Structure 1
Amino acid sequence: MPTAIIADDERLMRDQLRLRLGQAWPELEIIGEAKNGDEAIELVDQLKPDFTFLDIRMPGKTGMEAAQVIGNKSRIVFVTAYDSHAVEAFERGAVDYVLKPPEHERLLITVERLKTHLSKPALDVNSSVTAMLSQLAEKITAKPTYLQWIQASIGQDLRMIPVEEILFFRSDEKYTCVQTAKYEALIRKPVRDLAEELDPSLFWQIHRATLVNVNAIEGVTRDIRGRHLVLIKGKTDKLEVSRSFLHLFKQM
Protein backbone atom coordinates (compact mmCIF):
# COMPACT_ATOMS: atom_id res chain seq x y z
CA MET A 1 0.00 0.00 0.00
CA PRO A 2 1.48 3.39 -0.98
CA THR A 3 2.04 5.86 1.87
CA ALA A 4 2.18 9.63 2.21
CA ILE A 5 2.47 12.48 4.68
CA ILE A 6 0.84 15.91 4.43
CA ALA A 7 2.58 19.12 5.50
CA ASP A 8 0.50 22.30 5.74
CA ASP A 9 0.33 24.91 8.50
CA GLU A 10 -3.49 25.06 8.24
CA ARG A 11 -5.28 22.12 9.86
CA LEU A 12 -8.41 22.58 7.76
CA MET A 13 -6.36 22.33 4.57
CA ARG A 14 -4.69 19.14 5.83
CA ASP A 15 -8.13 17.71 6.60
CA GLN A 16 -9.44 18.76 3.19
CA LEU A 17 -6.51 17.22 1.31
CA ARG A 18 -6.71 14.01 3.36
CA LEU A 19 -10.42 13.74 2.53
CA ARG A 20 -9.95 14.44 -1.19
CA LEU A 21 -7.03 12.02 -1.49
CA GLY A 22 -9.09 9.34 0.24
CA GLN A 23 -11.79 9.78 -2.39
CA ALA A 24 -9.42 9.89 -5.37
CA TRP A 25 -6.97 7.21 -4.19
CA PRO A 26 -8.44 4.99 -1.41
CA GLU A 27 -5.35 2.77 -1.38
CA LEU A 28 -3.08 5.68 -0.40
CA GLU A 29 -2.40 5.61 3.34
CA ILE A 30 -1.76 8.98 5.03
CA ILE A 31 0.65 8.02 7.80
CA GLY A 32 1.54 11.43 9.19
CA GLU A 33 0.87 15.17 9.20
CA ALA A 34 3.19 18.13 9.75
CA LYS A 35 2.55 21.83 10.42
CA ASN A 36 5.77 23.12 8.86
CA GLY A 37 8.77 22.17 6.78
CA ASP A 38 10.94 21.17 9.73
CA GLU A 39 8.31 18.70 10.98
CA ALA A 40 7.94 17.33 7.45
CA ILE A 41 11.67 16.61 7.24
CA GLU A 42 11.54 14.77 10.58
CA LEU A 43 8.52 12.70 9.50
CA VAL A 44 10.17 11.71 6.24
CA ASP A 45 13.20 10.43 8.16
CA GLN A 46 11.00 8.56 10.66
CA LEU A 47 8.24 7.17 8.43
CA LYS A 48 9.87 7.01 4.97
CA PRO A 49 6.66 7.76 3.01
CA ASP A 50 6.42 7.18 -0.72
CA PHE A 51 5.03 10.71 -1.19
CA THR A 52 5.33 13.95 0.74
CA PHE A 53 2.69 16.62 0.10
CA LEU A 54 4.31 19.96 0.90
CA ASP A 55 2.54 23.30 1.12
CA ILE A 56 4.83 25.86 -0.51
CA ARG A 57 4.34 28.55 2.15
CA MET A 58 4.78 27.41 5.76
CA PRO A 59 6.40 28.92 8.86
CA GLY A 60 9.96 27.89 9.56
CA LYS A 61 11.22 26.01 6.53
CA THR A 62 8.99 26.52 3.49
CA GLY A 63 7.88 23.61 1.35
CA MET A 64 10.55 24.39 -1.22
CA GLU A 65 13.28 24.52 1.42
CA ALA A 66 12.03 21.26 2.96
CA ALA A 67 12.01 19.60 -0.47
CA GLN A 68 15.67 20.39 -0.98
CA VAL A 69 16.52 18.73 2.34
CA ILE A 70 14.30 15.71 1.73
CA GLY A 71 15.97 15.14 -1.65
CA ASN A 72 15.36 11.59 -2.89
CA LYS A 73 14.07 10.21 0.43
CA SER A 74 10.46 10.69 -0.72
CA ARG A 75 8.66 11.74 -3.91
CA ILE A 76 7.71 15.40 -3.55
CA VAL A 77 4.23 16.73 -4.29
CA PHE A 78 3.88 20.49 -3.86
CA VAL A 79 0.57 21.98 -2.73
CA THR A 80 0.07 25.47 -4.12
CA ALA A 81 -2.56 28.20 -4.44
CA TYR A 82 -0.75 29.95 -7.25
CA ASP A 83 -2.10 30.42 -10.73
CA SER A 84 -1.22 28.76 -14.01
CA HIS A 85 1.76 31.02 -14.63
CA ALA A 86 3.49 29.69 -11.53
CA VAL A 87 2.31 26.17 -12.28
CA GLU A 88 4.25 26.28 -15.56
CA ALA A 89 7.35 25.68 -13.46
CA PHE A 90 5.87 22.44 -12.15
CA GLU A 91 4.91 21.26 -15.61
CA ARG A 92 8.52 21.57 -16.74
CA GLY A 93 9.89 20.09 -13.52
CA ALA A 94 10.04 16.54 -12.29
CA VAL A 95 7.98 16.90 -9.12
CA ASP A 96 4.20 16.88 -9.00
CA TYR A 97 1.73 19.38 -7.60
CA VAL A 98 -1.80 19.81 -6.22
CA LEU A 99 -3.70 23.07 -6.56
CA LYS A 100 -5.57 24.61 -3.61
CA PRO A 101 -8.38 24.03 -2.98
CA PRO A 102 -8.07 20.40 -4.14
CA GLU A 103 -10.85 19.62 -6.62
CA HIS A 104 -11.81 16.02 -7.26
CA GLU A 105 -11.49 15.97 -11.06
CA ARG A 106 -8.10 17.70 -11.07
CA LEU A 107 -6.87 15.52 -8.22
CA LEU A 108 -7.70 12.37 -10.18
CA ILE A 109 -5.23 13.51 -12.86
CA THR A 110 -2.56 14.10 -10.23
CA VAL A 111 -3.20 10.68 -8.67
CA GLU A 112 -2.67 8.95 -12.01
CA ARG A 113 0.65 10.77 -12.38
CA LEU A 114 1.69 9.76 -8.87
CA LYS A 115 0.88 6.11 -9.50
CA THR A 116 3.33 6.07 -12.39
CA HIS A 117 6.02 7.46 -10.06
CA LEU A 118 5.79 4.41 -7.80
CA SER A 119 7.70 2.32 -10.33
CA LYS A 120 10.47 4.91 -10.54
CA PRO A 121 13.08 5.95 -7.96
CA ALA A 122 12.38 9.12 -5.98
CA LEU A 123 14.01 12.11 -7.63
CA ASP A 124 16.87 13.94 -5.95
CA VAL A 125 15.35 17.41 -5.68
CA ASN A 126 18.70 19.01 -4.93
CA SER A 127 20.28 18.02 -8.22
CA SER A 128 17.35 17.82 -10.61
CA VAL A 129 14.77 20.46 -9.69
CA THR A 130 16.80 23.37 -8.29
CA ALA A 131 16.26 25.47 -11.41
CA MET A 132 12.53 24.83 -11.32
CA LEU A 133 12.33 25.80 -7.65
CA SER A 134 14.25 28.99 -8.34
CA GLN A 135 11.94 29.94 -11.20
CA LEU A 136 8.87 29.24 -9.08
CA ALA A 137 10.24 31.26 -6.17
CA GLU A 138 10.67 34.29 -8.45
CA LYS A 139 7.06 34.04 -9.62
CA ILE A 140 5.71 33.64 -6.11
CA THR A 141 7.67 36.46 -4.52
CA ALA A 142 6.46 38.78 -7.26
CA LYS A 143 2.83 38.08 -6.40
CA PRO A 144 0.80 39.53 -3.50
CA THR A 145 0.37 37.17 -0.58
CA TYR A 146 -3.24 38.10 0.22
CA LEU A 147 -5.67 35.31 1.02
CA GLN A 148 -7.57 34.05 -2.01
CA TRP A 149 -10.11 31.91 -0.13
CA ILE A 150 -11.26 31.15 3.39
CA GLN A 151 -11.59 27.67 4.87
CA ALA A 152 -14.72 27.77 7.02
CA SER A 153 -17.03 25.34 8.82
CA ILE A 154 -20.73 24.93 8.17
CA GLY A 155 -21.90 22.41 10.75
CA GLN A 156 -19.67 19.38 10.28
CA ASP A 157 -18.69 20.33 6.73
CA LEU A 158 -15.67 22.27 5.52
CA ARG A 159 -16.28 24.87 2.82
CA MET A 160 -13.62 26.58 0.68
CA ILE A 161 -14.97 30.10 0.09
CA PRO A 162 -13.38 32.47 -2.48
CA VAL A 163 -12.82 35.78 -0.71
CA GLU A 164 -14.59 37.77 -3.43
CA GLU A 165 -17.83 35.93 -2.53
CA ILE A 166 -17.66 37.04 1.11
CA LEU A 167 -19.82 40.05 2.01
CA PHE A 168 -18.37 40.63 5.47
CA PHE A 169 -16.64 39.13 8.50
CA ARG A 170 -17.96 39.79 12.01
CA SER A 171 -16.33 38.47 15.18
CA ASP A 172 -17.59 37.73 18.67
CA GLU A 173 -15.51 36.52 21.61
CA LYS A 174 -14.96 33.02 20.22
CA TYR A 175 -15.76 32.82 16.49
CA THR A 176 -15.79 34.94 13.35
CA CYS A 177 -18.87 34.79 11.15
CA VAL A 178 -18.18 34.58 7.40
CA GLN A 179 -21.22 35.89 5.55
CA THR A 180 -21.82 35.27 1.87
CA ALA A 181 -24.94 36.01 -0.18
CA LYS A 182 -26.13 32.42 0.25
CA TYR A 183 -24.93 31.18 3.63
CA GLU A 184 -23.11 31.87 6.88
CA ALA A 185 -20.01 29.97 8.02
CA LEU A 186 -17.68 30.12 11.02
CA ILE A 187 -13.93 30.36 11.50
CA ARG A 188 -11.78 30.82 14.59
CA LYS A 189 -9.44 33.45 13.12
CA PRO A 190 -10.11 36.92 14.62
CA VAL A 191 -10.76 40.01 12.50
CA ARG A 192 -7.46 41.60 13.54
CA ASP A 193 -5.56 38.71 11.87
CA LEU A 194 -7.81 38.67 8.80
CA ALA A 195 -7.25 42.40 8.31
CA GLU A 196 -3.54 41.73 7.82
CA GLU A 197 -4.06 38.83 5.41
CA LEU A 198 -6.79 40.21 3.11
CA ASP A 199 -6.35 42.71 0.29
CA PRO A 200 -7.03 46.13 1.90
CA SER A 201 -8.40 47.44 -1.39
CA LEU A 202 -11.12 44.74 -1.25
CA PHE A 203 -11.87 44.52 2.47
CA TRP A 204 -12.21 47.52 4.75
CA GLN A 205 -12.08 47.23 8.50
CA ILE A 206 -14.94 49.39 9.78
CA HIS A 207 -14.95 48.20 13.40
CA ARG A 208 -12.55 46.27 15.61
CA ALA A 209 -14.78 43.23 15.04
CA THR A 210 -15.92 43.82 11.44
CA LEU A 211 -14.47 43.65 7.94
CA VAL A 212 -16.62 44.41 4.91
CA ASN A 213 -16.18 43.72 1.20
CA VAL A 214 -16.24 47.14 -0.47
CA ASN A 215 -18.12 45.68 -3.44
CA ALA A 216 -20.93 44.60 -1.09
CA ILE A 217 -21.52 48.09 0.35
CA GLU A 218 -24.83 49.58 -0.74
CA GLY A 219 -24.50 52.75 1.29
CA VAL A 220 -24.07 54.29 4.73
CA THR A 221 -26.84 55.60 6.98
CA ARG A 222 -27.26 56.93 10.52
CA ASP A 223 -29.55 55.62 13.23
CA ILE A 224 -31.39 57.72 15.84
CA ARG A 225 -28.34 57.49 18.12
CA GLY A 226 -26.13 59.03 15.47
CA ARG A 227 -24.19 55.86 14.73
CA HIS A 228 -23.01 55.29 11.16
CA LEU A 229 -24.20 51.98 9.72
CA VAL A 230 -23.09 50.24 6.53
CA LEU A 231 -25.87 48.77 4.40
CA ILE A 232 -25.12 45.51 2.59
CA LYS A 233 -26.44 44.77 -0.89
CA GLY A 234 -29.21 42.19 -0.83
CA LYS A 235 -29.07 41.77 2.96
CA THR A 236 -30.84 43.33 5.93
CA ASP A 237 -27.64 43.47 7.99
CA LYS A 238 -26.46 46.88 9.14
CA LEU A 239 -22.82 47.00 10.23
CA GLU A 240 -21.73 49.65 12.70
CA VAL A 241 -18.79 51.89 11.76
CA SER A 242 -16.43 52.91 14.55
CA ARG A 243 -15.45 56.57 14.68
CA SER A 244 -11.82 55.72 13.93
CA PHE A 245 -12.90 54.23 10.56
CA LEU A 246 -15.33 56.94 9.42
CA HIS A 247 -12.67 58.47 7.19
CA LEU A 248 -13.12 55.53 4.79
CA PHE A 249 -16.53 56.88 3.80
CA LYS A 250 -15.80 60.56 3.35
CA GLN A 251 -15.81 60.22 -0.43
CA MET A 252 -18.98 58.10 -0.57
Structure 2
Amino acid sequence: MNVLLVDDSRLARTELRHLLQAFPDVTVVGEARHAAEARTRLQELRPDLLLLDIHMPGETGFELLASLEAAPHVIFTTAYDEYALRAFEVNALDYLLKPVQETRLAAALEKARAKLLAPALAETAAVPVSPVPDEPAPTLLTEHDQVFVKDGERCWFVRLSDIRLFEINGSYTRIYFEQHRPLIPRTLQHLEQRLDPKVFFRANRQQIINLKWIESIEPWFSNTLKIRLRGGPEVEVSRQQSVRFRELMSL
Protein backbone atom coordinates (compact mmCIF):
# COMPACT_ATOMS: atom_id res chain seq x y z
CA MET A 1 0.00 0.00 0.00
CA ASN A 2 1.58 3.26 -1.18
CA VAL A 3 0.98 6.29 1.05
CA LEU A 4 1.42 10.03 0.50
CA LEU A 5 1.84 12.22 3.59
CA VAL A 6 0.34 15.71 3.33
CA ASP A 7 1.06 17.99 6.28
CA ASP A 8 2.67 21.42 6.62
CA SER A 9 4.48 20.28 9.79
CA ARG A 10 7.80 18.53 9.11
CA LEU A 11 7.69 17.11 12.65
CA ALA A 12 4.23 15.61 12.03
CA ARG A 13 5.39 14.01 8.76
CA THR A 14 8.47 12.59 10.48
CA GLU A 15 6.34 11.14 13.28
CA LEU A 16 3.98 9.50 10.78
CA ARG A 17 6.92 8.01 8.87
CA HIS A 18 8.21 6.57 12.13
CA LEU A 19 4.83 5.05 13.04
CA LEU A 20 4.34 3.59 9.56
CA GLN A 21 7.61 1.65 9.83
CA ALA A 22 5.71 -0.83 12.02
CA PHE A 23 3.61 -1.88 8.98
CA PRO A 24 5.71 -3.83 6.42
CA ASP A 25 3.07 -3.62 3.69
CA VAL A 26 3.00 0.20 3.80
CA THR A 27 5.41 2.32 1.75
CA VAL A 28 5.62 6.09 2.11
CA VAL A 29 6.14 7.14 -1.52
CA GLY A 30 6.28 10.89 -0.87
CA GLU A 31 5.43 13.94 1.18
CA ALA A 32 3.77 17.29 0.54
CA ARG A 33 3.73 20.46 2.64
CA HIS A 34 0.59 22.03 1.20
CA ALA A 35 -2.28 21.42 -1.24
CA ALA A 36 -0.50 22.68 -4.37
CA GLU A 37 2.46 20.40 -3.74
CA ALA A 38 0.09 17.53 -2.93
CA ARG A 39 -1.64 17.85 -6.33
CA THR A 40 1.72 17.52 -8.08
CA ARG A 41 2.72 14.52 -5.97
CA LEU A 42 -0.64 12.85 -6.58
CA GLN A 43 -0.18 13.06 -10.34
CA GLU A 44 3.40 11.80 -10.15
CA LEU A 45 3.05 9.04 -7.57
CA ARG A 46 -0.57 7.81 -7.80
CA PRO A 47 -0.68 6.67 -4.13
CA ASP A 48 -3.30 4.29 -2.76
CA LEU A 49 -3.84 6.33 0.38
CA LEU A 50 -3.53 9.93 1.61
CA LEU A 51 -2.70 10.74 5.22
CA LEU A 52 -4.02 14.29 5.06
CA ASP A 53 -3.87 17.23 7.45
CA ILE A 54 -6.78 19.70 7.48
CA HIS A 55 -5.20 23.04 8.43
CA MET A 56 -2.44 23.97 5.98
CA PRO A 57 -1.18 27.23 4.45
CA GLY A 58 -3.26 28.28 1.45
CA GLU A 59 -5.87 25.57 1.03
CA THR A 60 -7.29 23.20 3.61
CA GLY A 61 -7.32 19.45 3.21
CA PHE A 62 -11.03 19.64 2.38
CA GLU A 63 -10.36 22.17 -0.39
CA LEU A 64 -7.64 19.93 -1.80
CA LEU A 65 -10.05 17.00 -2.03
CA ALA A 66 -12.76 19.16 -3.61
CA SER A 67 -10.33 20.20 -6.36
CA LEU A 68 -9.47 16.65 -7.41
CA GLU A 69 -11.30 14.81 -10.17
CA ALA A 70 -10.33 11.52 -8.56
CA ALA A 71 -8.79 11.03 -5.15
CA PRO A 72 -7.24 8.04 -3.39
CA HIS A 73 -8.61 6.83 -0.08
CA VAL A 74 -8.14 9.40 2.68
CA ILE A 75 -7.36 9.24 6.39
CA PHE A 76 -7.39 12.65 8.04
CA THR A 77 -4.73 13.48 10.64
CA THR A 78 -5.42 16.65 12.59
CA ALA A 79 -5.14 18.32 15.97
CA TYR A 80 -8.78 19.45 15.81
CA ASP A 81 -11.79 17.27 16.59
CA GLU A 82 -14.52 19.65 15.37
CA TYR A 83 -14.21 18.57 11.73
CA ALA A 84 -15.10 14.90 12.28
CA LEU A 85 -18.61 15.19 10.82
CA ARG A 86 -17.37 16.95 7.68
CA ALA A 87 -14.57 14.38 7.30
CA PHE A 88 -17.03 11.50 7.15
CA GLU A 89 -19.27 13.46 4.80
CA VAL A 90 -16.43 13.42 2.25
CA ASN A 91 -16.09 9.64 2.76
CA ALA A 92 -12.85 9.66 4.71
CA LEU A 93 -11.87 6.20 5.97
CA ASP A 94 -10.92 7.53 9.39
CA TYR A 95 -10.17 10.64 11.42
CA LEU A 96 -7.05 10.50 13.61
CA LEU A 97 -6.29 13.11 16.24
CA LYS A 98 -2.71 14.21 16.79
CA PRO A 99 -0.59 12.95 18.38
CA VAL A 100 -1.53 9.87 16.36
CA GLN A 101 -1.57 6.64 18.36
CA GLU A 102 -0.20 3.49 16.77
CA THR A 103 -3.31 1.46 17.68
CA ARG A 104 -5.60 3.97 15.99
CA LEU A 105 -3.32 4.16 12.96
CA ALA A 106 -3.33 0.36 12.71
CA ALA A 107 -7.14 0.28 12.75
CA ALA A 108 -7.33 3.00 10.09
CA LEU A 109 -4.83 1.19 7.85
CA GLU A 110 -6.88 -2.00 8.21
CA LYS A 111 -9.88 -0.12 6.81
CA ALA A 112 -7.76 1.03 3.88
CA ARG A 113 -6.56 -2.53 3.20
CA ALA A 114 -10.14 -3.78 3.20
CA LYS A 115 -11.18 -1.10 0.72
CA LEU A 116 -8.22 -1.78 -1.56
CA LEU A 117 -8.67 -5.56 -1.47
CA ALA A 118 -12.43 -5.57 -2.02
CA PRO A 119 -12.35 -4.98 -5.83
CA ALA A 120 -9.68 -7.66 -6.34
CA LEU A 121 -11.59 -10.18 -4.26
CA ALA A 122 -14.77 -9.44 -6.20
CA GLU A 123 -13.01 -10.00 -9.55
CA THR A 124 -11.34 -13.27 -8.53
CA ALA A 125 -14.41 -14.82 -6.90
CA ALA A 126 -15.49 -17.58 -9.28
CA VAL A 127 -18.91 -18.32 -7.80
CA PRO A 128 -19.84 -15.88 -5.06
CA VAL A 129 -21.85 -17.57 -2.36
CA SER A 130 -23.28 -14.29 -1.10
CA PRO A 131 -23.06 -10.64 -2.12
CA VAL A 132 -19.84 -8.84 -1.23
CA PRO A 133 -20.61 -6.67 1.81
CA ASP A 134 -20.46 -2.91 1.40
CA GLU A 135 -18.48 -2.49 4.62
CA PRO A 136 -15.32 -4.29 5.80
CA ALA A 137 -15.44 -6.53 8.84
CA PRO A 138 -15.64 -4.49 12.06
CA THR A 139 -12.26 -3.50 13.53
CA LEU A 140 -11.81 -4.02 17.27
CA LEU A 141 -11.69 -0.69 19.11
CA THR A 142 -9.72 -0.05 22.30
CA GLU A 143 -10.85 2.07 25.22
CA HIS A 144 -8.45 4.79 24.05
CA ASP A 145 -10.14 5.15 20.66
CA GLN A 146 -12.47 8.03 19.96
CA VAL A 147 -15.74 7.53 18.10
CA PHE A 148 -18.01 9.92 16.25
CA VAL A 149 -21.56 10.05 17.64
CA LYS A 150 -24.43 11.90 15.96
CA ASP A 151 -27.95 12.21 17.36
CA GLY A 152 -30.17 14.54 15.35
CA GLU A 153 -28.35 17.85 14.97
CA ARG A 154 -25.94 17.19 17.85
CA CYS A 155 -22.51 15.63 17.39
CA TRP A 156 -19.79 14.39 19.73
CA PHE A 157 -16.31 12.95 19.35
CA VAL A 158 -16.08 10.81 22.48
CA ARG A 159 -13.41 8.52 23.88
CA LEU A 160 -14.69 4.99 24.53
CA SER A 161 -13.19 5.00 28.03
CA ASP A 162 -15.66 7.80 28.89
CA ILE A 163 -18.68 5.72 27.90
CA ARG A 164 -20.02 3.80 30.91
CA LEU A 165 -23.06 2.09 29.39
CA PHE A 166 -24.66 1.01 26.10
CA GLU A 167 -28.39 0.26 26.40
CA ILE A 168 -31.01 -0.91 23.90
CA ASN A 169 -33.77 1.62 23.28
CA GLY A 170 -36.21 0.31 20.69
CA SER A 171 -34.31 -0.21 17.44
CA TYR A 172 -31.52 2.11 18.63
CA THR A 173 -28.83 1.99 21.31
CA ARG A 174 -28.50 4.70 23.96
CA ILE A 175 -24.98 5.73 25.00
CA TYR A 176 -24.24 7.03 28.49
CA PHE A 177 -21.31 9.45 28.87
CA GLU A 178 -21.00 12.54 31.05
CA GLN A 179 -24.55 13.98 31.19
CA HIS A 180 -25.34 12.97 27.61
CA ARG A 181 -27.65 10.13 26.43
CA PRO A 182 -27.58 10.14 22.60
CA LEU A 183 -29.16 7.39 20.50
CA ILE A 184 -27.29 5.68 17.66
CA PRO A 185 -28.65 3.33 14.96
CA ARG A 186 -26.59 0.32 16.06
CA THR A 187 -27.47 -2.99 17.69
CA LEU A 188 -25.74 -4.31 20.80
CA GLN A 189 -24.58 -7.30 18.75
CA HIS A 190 -22.76 -4.98 16.34
CA LEU A 191 -21.21 -3.01 19.20
CA GLU A 192 -20.15 -6.16 21.03
CA GLN A 193 -18.16 -7.23 17.95
CA ARG A 194 -16.27 -3.93 17.95
CA LEU A 195 -15.67 -3.33 21.68
CA ASP A 196 -12.74 -4.69 23.68
CA PRO A 197 -14.16 -7.57 25.80
CA LYS A 198 -11.55 -6.87 28.49
CA VAL A 199 -13.21 -3.51 29.12
CA PHE A 200 -16.83 -3.85 27.94
CA PHE A 201 -19.06 -6.61 29.32
CA ARG A 202 -22.49 -7.74 28.09
CA ALA A 203 -24.45 -7.66 31.34
CA ASN A 204 -27.75 -8.83 29.86
CA ARG A 205 -29.71 -8.76 26.60
CA GLN A 206 -30.25 -5.01 26.87
CA GLN A 207 -26.99 -3.58 28.25
CA ILE A 208 -23.21 -3.51 27.83
CA ILE A 209 -21.24 -1.95 30.70
CA ASN A 210 -17.75 -0.48 30.95
CA LEU A 211 -16.06 -2.51 33.69
CA LYS A 212 -13.87 0.43 34.69
CA TRP A 213 -16.94 2.45 35.68
CA ILE A 214 -18.17 -0.06 38.28
CA GLU A 215 -18.75 1.58 41.66
CA SER A 216 -20.24 -1.35 43.59
CA ILE A 217 -21.47 -4.94 43.15
CA GLU A 218 -24.03 -6.75 45.28
CA PRO A 219 -25.69 -10.18 45.17
CA TRP A 220 -29.19 -10.10 43.71
CA PHE A 221 -32.07 -12.51 43.21
CA SER A 222 -31.54 -16.10 41.96
CA ASN A 223 -27.74 -15.90 42.25
CA THR A 224 -27.52 -12.89 39.95
CA LEU A 225 -25.65 -9.61 40.52
CA LYS A 226 -26.57 -5.96 40.62
CA ILE A 227 -23.91 -3.46 39.56
CA ARG A 228 -23.93 0.27 40.21
CA LEU A 229 -21.96 2.40 37.79
CA ARG A 230 -20.31 5.67 38.78
CA GLY A 231 -22.75 8.37 37.70
CA GLY A 232 -25.52 5.75 37.40
CA PRO A 233 -27.49 3.78 36.62
CA GLU A 234 -27.79 0.38 38.34
CA VAL A 235 -27.56 -2.66 36.06
CA GLU A 236 -28.95 -6.11 36.81
CA VAL A 237 -26.72 -8.85 35.40
CA SER A 238 -28.52 -11.89 34.01
CA ARG A 239 -27.99 -15.28 35.64
CA GLN A 240 -25.84 -16.64 32.82
CA GLN A 241 -23.79 -13.46 32.58
CA SER A 242 -23.40 -13.33 36.36
CA VAL A 243 -21.59 -16.67 36.15
CA ARG A 244 -19.38 -15.31 33.35
CA PHE A 245 -18.73 -12.12 35.31
CA ARG A 246 -17.57 -14.04 38.40
CA GLU A 247 -15.26 -16.19 36.24
CA LEU A 248 -13.92 -13.12 34.45
CA MET A 249 -13.21 -11.10 37.58
CA SER A 250 -11.93 -13.92 39.83
CA LEU A 251 -8.29 -14.88 40.38
- For normalisation by structure 2, the TM-score amounts to 0.47
Higher relative contact order (CA closer than 8 Å, sequence separation 6+): 1
- For normalisation by structure 1, the TM-score amounts to 0.47
